[in-house]
Amino acid sequence: MHALFEDAGKFLAGRILSEADASSQVELASGKRVKVKAAHILLKFEKPEPAVLMAEAEAIASTIELDLAWEFAPEEEFGFADLARDYFSDSAPNTQQIGMLFALYGAPHYFRRAGKGRFRKAPAEILQQALAAIEKKKQIQAQIDGWAQELAAGTCPQPIREQLYKILFKPDKNAPEYKAVVEASRSAQKAPLELLQAAGAIDSAYQFHWKRFLFENFPKGTRFPELTAPQPPEDLPVANVQAYSIDDSMTTEIDDALSVQGLGTGTVTLGIHIAAPGLAIEPGSDLDKLGRNRLSTVYMPGYKITMLPDEVVQIYTLDEGRANPAVSLYVTYDEATLEVKDKVTKLERVPVVVNFRHDKLDHIVTEEWLADPTLEVEGTPANLAERRQELMFLHRLAKHLKKGREEVRGKPENFSRPDYTFRLEGNGDEEPNGSETVSISVRKRGAPLDLIVAEAAIVANSTWGGWLAELGVPGIYRSQASMAPGVKVRMSTKALPHAGIGVKSYSWATSPLRRYVDLVNQWQIIACARHGATAALAAPFKPKDAELFGIISSFDGAYSAYNGYQQSMERFWTLKYVEQNGITELDCAVIKDNGPNGILVRADTLPLVISIIGAQDLPRGARVRVKLGAIDEITLDIHGTVIERLDDPLDSSDDAPLDDAAEDEDDVAAGPIAIAVDVNEADSTSADTPAP
């Protein structure tokens, strides 16, 4: 005697070895013996053998017309054997009865289970809905199969092209477009990104990076809504100074300017003048919401996405030839000793007489030119010559301030690496498309004009940060507990020391046209300037204001994403420069052991860090000549091979062991981008140092 029974949703059959009232012992074809409760046994039979019975029943189940079986089924609960006799004949054999069981069990949209071997037919309305859903699912699967075939054949269907960045970076794994990519990737045995590239889904490498960035950070686009640009107060006094800014030629959001008064009198007043959109933009206004949404201007070679609309920027940028609204910090120094005598903050209009551009003046304003007033440099502009004595004082002051900070830091700041400037030819002021010709120029870090601007900004940011804390007005600060490896810069509402810069507290307040936290701090500083000791009552943000913490959290994420994109685009254009100039070899210095990915080296003359092989035994600092491999503009990857060591292996005085902790974060950030393609279902303080 044999028995058919249900076990954990599966139907099994075997020979009965023994029976009792409550259970039976059954031996399966595999030889395994199981104890089966009597209630779980659905059918006992003599013939055929269990394996034959199961096979014949499955074949019969596939022939059963479910619509007809549903019509035959009674309205009340029924057993599978009963329906088999109604459907086939009154003498339906075991094979037909079990076939009906299998059919009923496999069609829950037609028949609902009501117990072991018991069923109830689904209501007609529910059945029609279920059948419609099944048909829709079949159509979707057919569409998925069709798209997958197109992808495998090298063509990208338009719906997948439209969903490309969502599929790659924020996929809905139930979406048919996503499933088609997964299916095609498996059948073609290609990685999803490689598959999509081969199918022409990616128009160009540049557009891939650009559209990915927009998808993740500007899903609604970068255009501003139509808003009225607010005008500054009309009653601002005009300062009795002649100020000038120092920026790159590409800078349009001119946030800061300087002025010097009293040279030769023994007491000199430095004016640090910051553009003041906070005088007119109201917290909570529509324009504020725009700034809070973007949080910062996004920079990249040849283009930028501004935090504020151009109409607003044009009102508040410190353009030459007009008196601009500003928050000014006046610091009075003893001209001989550079001892601070007084500090005062004013809200005013500041006449800006010239916008100096350091990329056009660095070859003139050198250490030698500032140290020797008799030194003449051909081509010196008249307006620069007029400011020479002031610039000489500012440079002397900047070196003095830097030295004082370095004493607090415990070591000098490192300006050994150059800065690189990217210029794109062929796009004008329009958004680049990746086909432009790129030029990369080198600029030494810590150039005199840079130093002047940076130290002035540090004076303003640290002074105002301390002033806010003194008056009990909350602000947004950047701090660093120590310069020990791994201790990072943090943002908070507490005026804590910044070890990396060497100041007691440091608030970002000198770029309110470009960074939202600077605008927030400017509102607080304006309240201090207007209300003094009672500023805490009048400031837009009160102590322990939850909004400030929300702003910090949002800004941290956005600023990190924007900086990451800037770095990736600088790397993209560096690789373009290598390609456009036919560079096949580079001189480099070993900087970091990158584990299984090889050794990282930094190029001597380009802002490029690459992974190489053939340098496993070389110490940090060793100089090598590297032969470059193929460039992947999508992953921004390039590898190299050492072909020659350039320094003397016996002279290891400057070498240091490869140590991850000793490296800047820039070394890691400069590496190739990791593309987060989630479609495999197979089962340092330099950021705080102001720059012009």
Cβ-proximal residues to 421 (8 Å cutoff; 6+ apart), any chain: 248, 359, 440, 441, 442, 443
* pLDDT score for 54: 92
Q: Mean pLDDT, to the nearest integer, of 586-605?
A: 84
Chain centroid to CA 519:
23
Comparing C-alpha atoms, which of 498, 496, 497, 501 is closest to residue 413? 501
234-260 pLDDT, tens per residue? 889 999 999 999 998 888 899 999 999
Do 332 and 411 share a structural domain?
Answer: yes
Predicted confidence (pLDDT) at residue 428 exceeds the cutoff of 70: no
- DSSP for 545-602 reads -HHHHHHHHHHHHHHHHHHHHHHHHHHHHHHHHHHHTT--EEEEEEEEE-GGG-EEEE
pLDDT at 194: 85
Q: Which of 49-63, 326-340, 566-580, 658-672 has the lowest mean pLDDT?
A: 658-672
The tokens for 57 are: 């029943």
383's CB contacts (< 8 A; 6+ apart) are 353, 354
Q: What is the pLDDT of residues 454-468, one digit of tens each?
A: 999 999 999 999 999
Say yes or no: 261 and 328 in one domain.
yes
- Note the pLDDT of residue 7: 84
Residues in a beta bridge with 347: 327
d(CA 541, CA 520): 9
Do 380 and 528 reside in the same domain of the chain? yes
Quick: pLDDT tens for 311-368. 999 999 999 999 999 999 999 999 999 999 999 999 999 999 999 998 889 889 999 9
pLDDT at res. 688: 56
Interval 612-638 mean pLDDT = 87
Q: What is the pLDDT of residues 460-493, one digit of tens each?
A: 999 999 999 999 999 999 999 988 888 899 999 9
Residue scoring higher pLDDT (680 or 429): 429
**Residue range 263-273: mean pLDDT, rounded:** 96
- Summarize pLDDT for 392-410 with one digit per residue, the tens: 999 999 999 999 998 888 8
Based on the fold, state whether residues 191 and 282 are members of the same structural domain: no
Count Cβ neighbours within 10 Å for each residue of 139-151 and write b for 16 or more, e otherwise.
Answer: eeeebbeebbebb
Lowest mean pLDDT, pick from 193-207, 528-542, 571-585: 193-207
How many structural domains compose the chain?
4
Distance CA 400, CA 411 (A): 15
- How many whole angstroms separate alpha carbon 483 and alpha carbon 505? 15
Whether 504 is in a domain gets the answer: yes
Domain co-membership, 505 together with 446: yes
pLDDT cut 90: percent of the chain above it? 59
Question: DSSP for 175-223?
Answer: SHHHHHHHHHHHHHT--HHHHHHHTT--S-HHHHHHHHHHHHH-TT-SP
Do 558 and 655 fall within a single domain? no
| CB 302, CB 286: distance < 8 Å | no
* Listed residue (639, 632, 216, 203) closest to 435, CA to CA: 203
Cα 627 from Cα 644, distance rounded (Å): 9
243-247 and 340-357 strand pairing? parallel
Share of the chain above pLDDT 70, in %: 92
Contact 597, 625 (CB under 8 A): no
Domain presence at residue 401: yes
Predicted pLDDT at 599: 85
Q: What is the CATH number of the domain that holds 599?
A: 2.40.50.140
pLDDT value at residue 192: 85
**Residue 11 belongs to some domain of the structure:** yes
Whether the per-residue pLDDT at 598 is higher than 90: the answer is no
Is the same domain home to 506 and 543?
yes
Residue 215 lies in a domain: no
- The four Cα atoms 168, 174, 177, 182 give a dihedral, to 10 degrees, of 70
485 and 611 both lie in a single domain: no
> What is the pLDDT at residue 74?
92
Q: State the average pLDDT over residues 588-610.
A: 85
Domain boundary among 71, 102, 122: 122
Q: CB–CB of 453/691 below 8 Å?
A: yes
Confidence class of residue 650 from pLDDT cuts 50, 70 and 90? low
Q: Across residues 676-691, what is the average pLDDT?
A: 41
H-helix or E-strand containing 531?
helix 516-531
Q: Is 371 left (phi over 0), alpha (psi -120 to 50) or beta?
A: alpha
- Is residue 328 within 8 Å of residue 239, measured between CB atoms? yes
Verify that 32 and 140 share a domain, yes or no. no
What's the Rg (C-alpha) of the chain?
Answer: 37
Among the candidates 202, 219, 234, a domain finishes at 202
Please report the pLDDT score of residue 661 as a whole number.
34
pLDDT, greater one: 668 or 55: 55
- 39-71 CB burial, b ≥16 within 10 A, e <16: ebbbbebeeeebeebbebbbebbeebebeebbe
Please check whether residue 692 lies inside any domain of the structure.
no
The last residue of one of the domains, among 97, 122, 147, is 122
Q: pLDDT tens, 216-233?
A: 999 888 999 988 888 988
pTM: 0.79
* Greatest pairwise CA separation for the chain in angstroms: 122
Residues 347, 415, single domain; the answer is yes
Kindly write down the DSSP assignment for every residue of 348-367, as one continuous string. Answer: EEEEEEEEEEHHHHTTTS-H
Residues 482 and 540 reside in one and the same domain: yes
Q: Is pLDDT of 678 > 50?
A: no
Contact 293, 519 (CB under 8 A): no
Mean pLDDT (the chain) is: 88
Residue 688 lies inside a defined structural domain of this protein: no
226 inside domain: no
Contact 676, 634 (CB under 8 A): no
CA nearest to 310, candidates 249, 232, 227, 369: 227
Residue 673 reports pLDDT greater than 70: no
- Does 133 lie in the same domain as 281? no
Tell me the pLDDT tens digit for each residue of 69-95: 999 899 899 999 999 999 999 999 999
Grouping H, G, I as helix, E, B as strand and the rest as coil, residue 81 is helix
pLDDT of res. 692: 42
Distance from chain centroid for Cα 314: 29
For 624, the domain range is 583-678
Question: 331 in a domain, yes or no?
Answer: yes
Mean local confidence (pLDDT), 85-114: 92
pLDDT digits (tens, 9 = 90+) for 131-176: 898 889 899 899 999 999 999 888 999 998 888 888 888 888 888 9
Extended beta strands in 381-529, E state: 418-425, 437-444, 477-479, 490-492
